[in-house]
Every structure is written in structure tokens, then in C-alpha cells.
Amino acid sequence: MSQESQTLPPEITPDDILQRAAIDKSTRLPVLFFFTSGVAWLLIATVLGLLASLSLVAPDLLPSQYLNAGRLQPAFVNALVYGWGFQAGIGVMVWIMARLCRTELRNPVTLVVAGHFWNIGVTVGVLGILAGSGNLHMKLLEFPSFAWPILLVAYTLLIVWMVIMYSARRKGMIYISQWYVLAACFTWPWIYLVANSLLNVLKKSGVAGPAIASWYANNVLFLWMVPVGLASAYFIIPKITNRSIHSYSLSTLAFWALIVLAPWAGAQELIGGPLPKWLPAVAGTAQILLLVPMFAVVLNHYKTVRGSHHLVEASPSLRFTFFGGIGYACTCVIAAVLSSMNLSRYTFLSYAADSVQMTGYYAFFTMTMFGAIYFIVPRITGCEWLSGARIRRHFWLSAYSCIFMCVVLLVAGFSHGSAIDNWSTNYESAMLFSNGYIVGRVLMWILLLYANVSFALHLGAMVLNRGRKAGRPTLIHEHAPTAVSAPAVTLEPSKA
Amino acid sequence: MSSQSSSQTPQNIDYSRTANVARMHAAVARESGELASQSVPISLWAVVSIAVVSICAGSFFSGALADHKQKPPVGAGASGGMSDEELHQPANWILAGKSKYSQCAACHGANGEGQPGQFPPLKASEFVIHGEKRLVATLLHGISGPLTVDGKPYNGVMPKLGGAASMPDKDLAQLLSYVRNEWGNKGSVIYEDQIKALKKDLGDRPGPYTEVELRAIPQDAPAPLSEWVARLEKPAAGAAAAPVAAPPPK
């Protein structure tokens, strides 16, 4: 923020500012809708996650048949991914697309209608899982089979407007974030349609079922969440540091490597299973090769941020994005390591899979989305976040509990998985091996619940226009020496 | 209002017209512009690291596929991946004995022909291919002193292999089944329960047999019938490659 000097950077004219303000105003309704309903789902997912981990520690605590671990766990993961992840992601996609295309959003209402459909689909799906009519065992496709057309239609309605915005863009320049947003527009409908038409229309079942589901689940992470998260990172890092992205070539390499390699990965989860062996072999190879785009992105972002690490301390958006970048790297590394034949023997069907999920969905994607929300919401609501201390608390609670959860689940996965691998151990005692870790996970969910409730209240205040009116950014460390400069240009004289 | 505002900005723009937008968007105003990427080429060590990752992926791929082509060696471990019934199929049972023959091969030779004057042959040997009882007795207690096999004299020591400290009954049974069906030998298969029964039958001995004592056991004396014969007959049909413990050919 120190780089946001007292005068405007040369290429920004007040007209630009007004144009941006008009774009932000046009996206206000749908983006806030997706953020708020996404955060509502985040709270639901957090509660479900807490209950799911609690039900493994104290099964008798939740007497209802709807609240057993077998239903709570998929309900939690689906609420987290479709309720929170997708809605937060769509909000970010819409806003970034509008900004970078320099076009106002013409049909905010259509987007909100599509958003309602999406919410109906997710609600029906999560309730269906809890009621026991879901397709359990199909990772991320657990929603009862009538829910998928609703989600697919809603998403299609959304991307139509994003593509229209893209084709009506002004100025020739196409930014890296736009590549990723466009990719995310098309990848998800593709994988979702393929997976559902194979499973629900053509009724492929038996061995093919889990293979399709693990391909789909892996691609939700690598073909949807990673593009959306990276779109946000590629937007926020140059904005906050006021530096250009280090290398165009690295960005191109990372983008195409991701798009080409990711669809091959996924089935390595079933290594050793009753599948043709080439399938996990190819998938595992692709999963290891996915380290290449990760490495290119991390290198590129690191080189861009280098020298302005004080901004990572001060700026909420950059700090969450930075953490998300580390989460992305960890996800890729853990996923690649676990696809190794020798290790997967000890992690197959164990908590280690939950660890990859938490790293990908939470440490990477959720944290990156928090960063984007901290950036976008002040611009579309016109007020500033209430308190830097509160953001700091949100960051540290989220960071500690998701790091702890990922590590603990990985360790628990090895002890759980090697107990399962030992034929003389029965399943019940294999579960007992990892019980201590699972108690730790419950405690971390309680911390996360606190963090997320506090974040939701903070966001609620912003939406209700109760934020700070002062035109200064809310920083995590108000007294950071380099970050105290007043806002660059005051368009609002009465404040001075 | 507008005059004060415009005095602070580089260009004189009438913000009163857009006061609402301007008030709302202090955050927008302090934002930097959208910057184009620099075009720094990919550094050499980044290319090298990518190559290293690709090589790792390649070796994983060939490893995973090689594993695909490799079938578990039949009978390599005593029960490597087989059910008990499969293992007791004569063909598998005999094959399982092959890996135990290595300690016999030191004296009797890999071809089972032995050493003239020292170690008698196992191939077509009168002590091997006839009844089970005499052969098992030899293995359980050993022989010492001069011995005539198929008319040729030998003088060596055959240590005992059966018993608590040495070979388990199951391994011994597989070994003997192998020996009785290799090098053109055609004998019955011996199962572990038969060894156990014969052990009881023969009783304890202070030392190894001599030739006279051994020949006291009739040449065709069989072992009691194995329960495996009945058990394997139910699924029947399958791999009955070698004759199951039936009265040996005379």
C-alpha cells in the first residue's frame, strides 16, 4: 500500500476510477448475493464438519439416524464445496471478469436468479444426503440424482453472462486472471456433465463408479478450484504490490500445463484396486506432473511479491492469498506423494484422503477466497472492514486450525491406513489407532467455527452498510511502518 | 465540494455529478491499475527442476505399469495369495515344494542324480517313488551307515529333517511331493496331515535308521489317507495334474 503513492499512477485517470466504480456498482447485487449465501453455507458446513468429526469420537452423542458419520461427512464436504466454495468462487469470477473486461454487468438480476437455483439445488442435495437418499460412496457426487440438473442449469445460466461480458470486453489486453476465469467457466460443466451422465443416465456402476467419482472429485479441485483461486491470486497480488506479474512465459506454461494435465489425474486414488492398472498409472503420473504448473505459479508469485513482504503482513487480502498459495503448493505435493504405490498402501481408504481434501478445499481454496472477499467487499459496499484485529484473529484461527487439521489427518491417515493394511487387525481396532488424532480434529473444528462465525458477522456488518466510513483501508497491522500512508486520492473531500 | 476535490486531483473533473459513486469508492480510487505481465523468460534452473519432476513422473509411470505385467509367482511363498484349497491342488502343492528343494540339492544335486558312492539319487530311486511311509521315515529320522540303492552302494549320512527344530510338516510334505514328481518320478502327493499321522505311527527314535531297520518298513507301505483328498474332490474337475495320494503304481 505504500506503493499507492500520493498521486495516481500515470495510467489511471479519474475516468478510469469512475468507470471502475460504475462496474463495481453494477456487480454489487449478484456478488454480494453469492458471498453472503456462500458464507451462510460455510457456517452450515463448519457445523456439519464439527458434527461429523464429533460423531466419530462420541457416536452416541447424536442419537438421530440422520446424524451419523456416514451421512454427516458427505453432507459436510458437499456443503463446503457446492454451498460455500462454488458460490464464493462464482462471486469472485463475476467481479474479476467485469473489472478486467471493463464492462458493466448488464444483467445482475439473471445472475441472482441463477444463484437462487443453485442454492435450491445445494439445499435439496444436502438434505437428501442427510435423509439417506444420496449416492453415498461417490465422492462429491453424493447429492441425490435429481439435484444435478438443477446445479448444471444454474451454472450454465451464470457462465452465459460471463462469456457475454468477455466478448463485449473493452481494450485488447487479456489478463492472466481472465484465462483462468474463462477456463473455470467451461471445465466444471464439462466434468459434471460427463460424471453425471455416466453415473446417472447411463447407469455405469460397479467398479466404474468409484473411478468416475475420483476422477471428478480430483478435477473439481484441479480444474475448477485451482483456476478460480489462481484467477484471484493473479488479480490481487499485482493490485496490492503494484508490481507486474514476474513472467508471462511462466504464466502461460503454468496455465496450459494445468489445463492439459489435470483431466488425466484422479484415479490414482484407486491404486491397487480392481481396475486396469494403466488407469491409476496414468493418473498418478499426471498427478506428479501437476507439480510443474504448481511450481511455475508459486515461483511466479514469489518473484512478484519478493521485496514487499511487509504488505503480506499488513494487507488482509494479500495475507490470505499468500497463505492460499502455500496451501496450493502443499495440496499438490501431498497429492503427488500419496499417489506413490508404496505409500498409498498405507494411506488407502484412510484419513489421509481427508487431509488432501482439507488442504485443497480449505488451506488453499477457502483461504484464497477469504482474501478475495476482503478485497472485493469494500469496493462494492463502499465501506471499510470494521476492525483489523478481527481480521487478524480470523486469519490466525483459520490458519492454525487448518494447518493442524491437515497435519493431524495425515499422521492419523498413516496410523489408520497401516492398521487397515495389517490383515490381523480388525477394522474397529484400526479406527482406535487414530482416535487421539480425531479428538484433536474436533477441537480444531471448534476453533474454525468461532473464526467463521466472527467472519460472517463481520461480512454481515459490511453488507448492511455498517462498515467504517473512513476511506482508509483496514489493515491487519495498523502500525506497520510502511503501510500507514493515507489513501492515495481522496475523491471525498468532506472526510479530509 | 467539487472544487476542493478537483484541486487535489490531476485533472479538473466535476465530481459533484458523480458524488455518490465517488463517495462510495474511496477503495477504488486508491487501487493501482491493471498491470500487464513482464516478459521475463523462464530461468534455466526452473527448466531443470521441471525436467526433474518429469523424470520422477516417468519413473513412477514405468514402475506402475511394470507392476501391472508382473504376476505373483505361483507358490513362491508357501501360500502367496492362494486359498488353502488352491494351494493343496497337486500341481500347486508340488510347485510349492520346489523352493524347499534347495537344501537337498547340495548333496542330491539339482538333477536329483546324487553323487556316486556318497549320496544316492532321488531320480527313480526305490526309496522315493514307492510307498510314502518309508520315505517319510527317512526324512523324519535320517539314515547313517552303508546303504544300497538300486543295486549301488553308498555310504553317507542323511540328517533328519522332520521334528520340532527343523522343517514344519507342511513344508516337508510339499518338498516330498516335489521330489516324488520331478525328474520323471511319478509318485503320489503327500499332505501335511499324512506326515503328522506317520510321525505318530513311527514314534520316537534315539538316532537315525540303518539300512536294515529302514528296509523293515515294507516298500509299498502307504500313509493313511489324507483328508485333503476328500476336500479337493468336491470341487473336483479342476487341476488334477498329478495323481492324488492313491495307492502308488506297482
**Per-position DSSP letters for A63-107, written without gaps between them:** -SGGGSHHHHHHHHHHIIIIIIIHHHHHHHHHHHHHHHHT---S-
The CATH number linked to B133 is: 1.10.760.10
Beta carbons within 8 Å of A226's beta carbon, 6+ residues apart: A258, A262, A328, A364
Q: Chain B partners of A296 at a C-beta cutoff of 8 Å?
A: 42, 46, 50
Tens of pLDDT, residue by residue over A64-84, are 777 888 899 999 999 999 999
B238 with B89: CB under 8 angstroms? Answer: yes
Residue B242 reports pLDDT greater than 60:
no
Give the pLDDT band (50/70/90) at residue A332.
very high
Q: What whole-number distance in Å separates Cα of residue A466 and Cα of residue A456?
A: 14
Q: Which amino acid is at A199?
A: L
**Residue A328: strand, helix, or coil:** helix
What phi and psi values does residue B157 have, to the nearest 5 degrees?
Answer: -120, 125
A49 with A445: CB under 8 angstroms? Answer: yes
Does residue B8 come out as left (phi exceeding 0), alpha (psi in the -120 to 50 range) or beta?
alpha
Nearest to B29 by CA among A490, A24, A75: A490
Question: From the list B37, B53, B63, which residue is nearest A176 (CB)?
Answer: B37
Q: Which amino acid is at A448?
A: L
A278 C-beta neighbours (distance < 10 Å), count: 13
State the residue range of the domain holding B141.
84-233
> What was the pLDDT predicted at A219?
96
Q: Chain A partners of B81 at a C-beta cutoff of 8 Å?
A: none
The residue among A482 and A23 whose pLDDT is bigger is A23
Q: Which of A6, A17, A277, A468 to mutate to test the interface with B (most CBs of B within 10 A)?
A: A17
Can you say whether the dihedral through the CA atoms of B33, B39, B41, B42 is positive or negative? positive
Q: Which of A86-90, A291-295, B93-97 has the lowest mean pLDDT?
A: B93-97
A484 C-beta neighbours (distance < 10 Å), count: 14
What phi and psi values does residue B109 have, to the nearest 5 degrees?
Answer: 80, 150
Residue A160 reports pLDDT greater than 70:
yes
| B73, part of any domain | no
| B126, part of any domain | yes
Buried b (16+ CB within 10 A) or exposed e, B43-56: eeebeebbeebeeb
Q: Are strands B143-149 and B152-158 parallel, antiparallel or unpaired?
A: antiparallel
Q: Is B237 on the interface with A (CB under 8 A)?
A: no
B142 and B208 inside one domain: yes
> What was the pLDDT predicted at A171?
67
Q: What whole-number distance in Å separates Cα of residue A455 and Cα of residue A387?
A: 11
> What was the pLDDT predicted at B24?
53
| B240, part of any domain | no
> What was the pLDDT predicted at A97?
93
Beta carbons within 8 Å of B51's beta carbon, 6+ residues apart: none
Q: Chain A partners of B56 at a C-beta cutoff of 8 Å?
A: 288
**Mean pLDDT, residues A41-60:** 91
The length of chain B is 250
Task: Write out the three cell numbers for B120.
Answer: 544316492
B13 and B98 inside one domain: no
Residues 53-112 of B with CB under 8 A from A: 53-54, 56-58, 60-61, 63-65, 67-68
The four Cα atoms B193, B198, B203, B204 give a dihedral, to 10 degrees, of -70
> Cell match 498521486: residue?
A7
Q: What whole-number distance in Å separates Cα of residue A92 and Cα of residue A376?
A: 8
- Chain B nearest-CA distance from A402, in A, is 28
% of chain A exceeding 90 in pLDDT: 56
The length of chain A is 496
B10 and B90 inside one domain: no
Nearest to B49 by CA among A213, A131, A186, A293: A293
Does residue A273 come out as left (phi exceeding 0), alpha (psi in the -120 to 50 range) or beta?
beta
Does B22 sit within 8 Å of A21, measured CB to CB?
yes
> What was the pLDDT predicted at B8?
41
A102 with A169: CB under 8 angstroms? Answer: yes
| B149, part of any domain | yes
Buried b (16+ CB within 10 A) or exposed e, B8-25: ebeeebebeebbebbbbb
Q: Which of B31, B65, B71 to mutate to test the interface with A (most CBs of A within 10 A)?
A: B31
Q: Chain B partners of A13 at a C-beta cutoff of 8 Å?
A: 11
Q: Which of A4, A100, A270, A285 to mutate to test the interface with B (most CBs of B within 10 A)?
A: A285
Number of separate helices (H) and strands (E) present in chain B:
12, 2
Q: What whole-number distance in Å separates Cα of residue A395 and Cα of residue A401?
A: 10
Q: What whole-number distance in Å separates Cα of residue A291 and Cα of residue A336?
A: 8
> Cell match 476453533: residue?
A447
> What was the pLDDT predicted at B235?
55
B93 with B189: CB under 8 angstroms? Answer: yes
A231 with A180: CB under 8 angstroms? Answer: yes
- Residue B148, strand partner residues: B153
B117 and B215 inside one domain: yes
Does A289 sit within 8 Å of B18, measured CB to CB?
no
Predicted interface score ipTM higher than 0.90: no
Q: Which of A264, A287, A290, A491 to mutate to test the interface with B (most CBs of B within 10 A)?
A: A491
> Cell match 495307492: residue?
B247
B142 and B221 inside one domain: yes
Range ranked top by mean pLDDT from A365-369, B57-61, B220-224: A365-369
B26 and B88 inside one domain: no
B11 and B130 inside one domain: no
**C-alpha triplet A169, A89, A260: angle, nearest 5°:** 75
- Chain B nearest-CA distance from A77, in A, is 30
B228 and B126 inside one domain: yes
Range ranked top by mean pLDDT from A211-215, B93-97, B114-118: A211-215
| B5, part of any domain | yes
Cα of first residue to Cα of last residue in chain B, in angstroms, is 123
Burial category of B102 from C-beta neighbours within 10 Å (exposed 0-12, middle 13-18, buried 19 and up): exposed
What phi and psi values does residue B144 have, to the nearest 5 degrees?
Answer: -140, 160
The domain total for chain B is 2
- Chain B nearest-CA distance from A405, in A, is 28
**Mean pLDDT, residues A86-108:** 93
CA distances from A191 to A139, A210, A215, A255, A300 (A): 13, 15, 9, 18, 28
What DSSP designation does B37 have?
P
Residue B173 reports pLDDT greater than 90:
no
| B215, part of any domain | yes
Give chain A's mean pLDDT. Answer: 87
A35 with A459: CB under 8 angstroms? Answer: yes
Q: What whole-number distance in Å separates Cα of residue A405 and Cα of residue A442?
A: 9
Q: What whole-number distance in Å separates Cα of residue A449 and Cα of residue A394?
A: 10
Nearest to A435 by CA among A55, A57, A62, A58: A57
% of chain A exceeding 70 in pLDDT: 93
The DSSP element (H or E) to which B53 belongs, if any, is helix B44-69
**Mean pLDDT, residues A261-273:** 86
Q: Chain B partners of A18 at a C-beta cutoff of 8 Å?
A: 18, 21-22
What phi and psi values does residue B206 have, to the nearest 5 degrees?
Answer: -70, -35
Give the pLDDT band (50/70/90) at residue A1.
very low
> What was the pLDDT predicted at A480?
47
